[in-house]
């Protein structure tokens, strides 16, 4: 009996009598060094340890103060000042101040900075991804960052950039202790040199291939967790996560498959949690193909695919379909003149093909991803459904796939894929991130489509200081993308999470599963 009790406590990583919250994560972090990651398995634990300058309000895509109490910009959004929260310390005792912020930003942005890419042989991928490059790169949005005393940080941009606060709220840019980074060097943010921030939790152990153990930060400036320990277990298989949840060995989990919703609802000890949609799953068409360069052909394809039937079949209540590239949380940026969805009309689609000169149709390749993603949980059957719809109007779609890394690479190599499935989950709450990633000037390699009007309006939106001005620019982009029929939005999915019924207070938002410190587990046995 004593041996069984010892093993139970070892699994939890806590002492007898401790109240522990256990989360079933979809996988292990790649890194916990801010600025180096873009994956969700790294993002969740990262933002337990770190705070950003800005955060998302619980359950929403709206931003609110975090380490910065407020922020202001000049009229054209080329200079931003962040006013920092006083009296905060990193959990290693290092004071949080403007110098610490500048140190972090410089190591992400400037390869030659102390602790930067050259010194530590690291790639700060998320900085490059969000800010268009590093110091000295022609596309970089940041021109400089500097401290003004100990409580103000000033960012100067190369052009107007209204969504800087939103980008600072992402899980990518948690502020780390300069002392800890300097002490650990290139090993910082790994299992042998754990991350140190100002966040609501302190990481105690990262057991590779197994779990992360954390305890609440009792000196945290914000809401303090009401339990004694937090464990993140790495469980890659959704079925394994659901089984452990049903058994009570984990308290909550995310990214279950849509078909598991029935099993969750059937268990009286479980409750389903539907995460707000903040993604798009799409079918992308390549204008380099001789058929797809024809506007009428692309319009015919958009009218031939029964999106609603596909979403009902593969997502049920966990997906919606519409005519917007943007998820529902960003509907404020949609154009009121664009219909609610693409019209499903196979007869009209077949006539369009005839008008385009292809009354007997033609053949194309349709590539589907070999991995499950939140927006396409079962890619091959979904591709088969789309192929069946296209066959009904005379287009023969040959299904193809390949290794995921090769798939992502080959789509951008000439001649590219005729049609392929892809998607996007937004890391921060701005339409700019969705549109620029797939319609911006650097996003034409896979589809050979570029619109100067879109490029121009993206710059207008980026520099606009009010939501009204941004909405006007994005509405024009919405109209152009709808008319172009180049990237056809199929679904905005709602990721499925589930909890034990005693788990209270968890409210995941569109851009973040956090916070976990608000959760209570009264009644856990």
pLDDT at 492 over 80: yes
Burial bucket for residue 158 (CB in 10 Å: 0-12, 13-18, 19+): middle
Q: Are 424 and 437 in contact (CB under 8 A)?
A: yes
In the three-class reduction of DSSP (H, G, I as helix; E, B as strand; rest coil), residue 128 is classed as helix
In this predicted structure, the answer to whether residue 10 has a pLDDT above a threshold of 60 is: no
Inform me whether the pLDDT recorded for 1 exceeds 50.
no
Using pLDDT thresholds of 50, 70 and 90, give the confidence band for residue 374: confident
Predicted model pTM = 0.82
Mean pLDDT for the stretch of residues 483-493: 97
Alpha helices in 392-430 (DSSP H): 404-410
Comparison of pLDDT for 27 and 358, the residue scoring more:
358
Cβ neighbours of residue 11 under 8 Å, at least 6 residues apart?
A: none
- State the pLDDT at residue 525: 79
The position carrying tokens 């060094």 is 33
The token pair that represents 222 in the structure block = 């914000």
Structure confidence at residue 250 (pLDDT): 98
pLDDT of 7: 33
Side-chain half-sphere of 111: how many Cα atoms within 13 Å?
12
What is the chain's alpha carbon radius of gyration, rounded to the nearest angstrom?
A: 24
Output the CA–CA distances (angstroms, integers) from residue 338 to 152, 277, 342, in the order listed: 43, 21, 9
- Sign of CA pseudo-dihedral 406, 411, 415, 419: positive
Q: Which residues of 90-127 are buried (b: 16+ CB within 10 A; e: fewer)?
A: bbeebebbbebbbbbbbbbbbbebebbbeebebebbbb
What DSSP element (H or E) covers 99? helix 98-109
- Which pLDDT band holds residue 384 (cuts at 50, 70, 90)? very high
Question: Residue 495's Cα: distance from chain center in Å?
Answer: 12
- Binning pLDDT at 50, 70 and 90, where does residue 17 land? low
pLDDT at position 11 is 41
Distance, CA of 115 to CA of 144 (rounded, Å): 17
- Contact 392/425 with Cβ under 8 angstroms? no
Phi–psi pair at 382, nearest 5 degrees = -65, -40
Report the first-to-last Cα separation within the chain, whole angstroms: 18
Q: What is the pLDDT of residue 441?
A: 83
- pLDDT, tens digit, 9 for 90 and up, residues 302-359: 999 999 999 999 999 899 999 999 999 899 999 999 999 999 999 999 999 999 999 9
Which of 242-256, 429-443, 463-477 has maximum average pLDDT?
A: 242-256
If one counts every other C-beta atom within 10 angstroms of the C-beta of residue 413, the result is 11
pLDDT at 140 over 50: yes
Asked whether the bond before 415 is cis by omega within 30 degrees of 0, the reply is yes
């Amino acid at each position: 009996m004593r041996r069984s009790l010892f093993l139970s406590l070892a699994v939890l990583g806590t002492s007898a009598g401790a109240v522990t919250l256990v989360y079933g994560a979809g996988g292990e972090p790649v890194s916990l060094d801010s600025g180096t990651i873009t994956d969700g398995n790294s993002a969740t634990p990262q933002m337990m340890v770190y705070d950003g300058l800005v955060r998302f309000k619980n359950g929403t895509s709206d931003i609110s103060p975090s380490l910065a109490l407020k922020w202001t910009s000049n009229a054209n959004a080329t200079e931003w000042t962040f006013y920092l929260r006083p009296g905060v310390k990193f959990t290693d005792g290092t004071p949080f101040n403007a110098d610490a912020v500048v140190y972090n930003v410089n190591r992400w942005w400037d390869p030659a900075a102390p602790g930067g890419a050259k010194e530590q042989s690291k790639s700060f991928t998320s900085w490059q991804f969000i800010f268009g490059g590093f110091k000295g790169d022609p596309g970089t949005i940041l021109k400089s960052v500097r401290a003004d005393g100990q409580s103000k940080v000033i960012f100067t941009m190369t052009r107007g950039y209204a969504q800087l606060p939103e980008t600072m709220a992402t899980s990518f840019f948690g502020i780390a202790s300069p002392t800890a980074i300097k002490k650990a060097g290139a090993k910082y943010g790994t299992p042998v040199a754990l991350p140190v921030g100002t966040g609501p939790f302190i990481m105690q152990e990262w057991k590779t291939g197994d779990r992360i153990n954390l305890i609440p930060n009792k000196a945290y400036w914000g809401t303090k967790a009401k339990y004694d320990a937090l464990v993140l277990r790495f469980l890659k298989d959704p079925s394994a996560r659901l089984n452990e949840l049903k058994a009570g060995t984990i308290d909550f989990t995310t990214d279950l498959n849509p078909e598991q919703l029935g099993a969750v609802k059937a268990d009286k000890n479980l409750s389903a949690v539907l995460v707000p949609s903040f993604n798009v799953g799409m079918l992308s068409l390549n204008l380099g193909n001789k058929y797809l360069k024809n506007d009428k052909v692309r319009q015919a394809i958009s009218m031939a695919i029964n999106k609603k039937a596909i979403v009902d079949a593969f997502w049920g209540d966990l997906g919606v379909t519409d005519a917007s590239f943007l998820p529902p949380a960003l509907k404020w940026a949609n154009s009121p003149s664009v219909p609610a969805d693409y019209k499903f009309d196979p007869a009209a689609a077949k006539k369009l093909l005839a008008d385009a000169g292809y009354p007997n149709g033609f053949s194309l390749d349709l590539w589907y991803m070999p991995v499950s993603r939140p927006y396409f949980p079962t890619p091959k059957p979904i591709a088969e459904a789309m192929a069946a719809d296209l066959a009904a109007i005379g287009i023969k779609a040959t299904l193809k796939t390949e290794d995921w890394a090769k798939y992502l690479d080959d789509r951008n190599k000439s001649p590219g894929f005729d049609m392929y499935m892809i998607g996007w989950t937004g890391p921060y709450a701005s339409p700019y991130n969705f549109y620029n990633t797939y319609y911006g000037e650097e996003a034409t390699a896979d589809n050979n489509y570029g619109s100067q009007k879109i490029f121009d309006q993206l710059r207008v939106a980026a520099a606009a200081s009010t939501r009204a001005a941004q909405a006007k620019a994005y509405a024009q982009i919405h109209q152009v993308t709808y008319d172009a029929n180049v990237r056809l939005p199929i679904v905005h999915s709602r990721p499925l999470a589930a909890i034990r019924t005693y788990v209270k207070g968890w409210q995941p938002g569109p851009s973040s599963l956090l916070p976990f410190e608000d959760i209570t587990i009264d009644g856990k046995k």
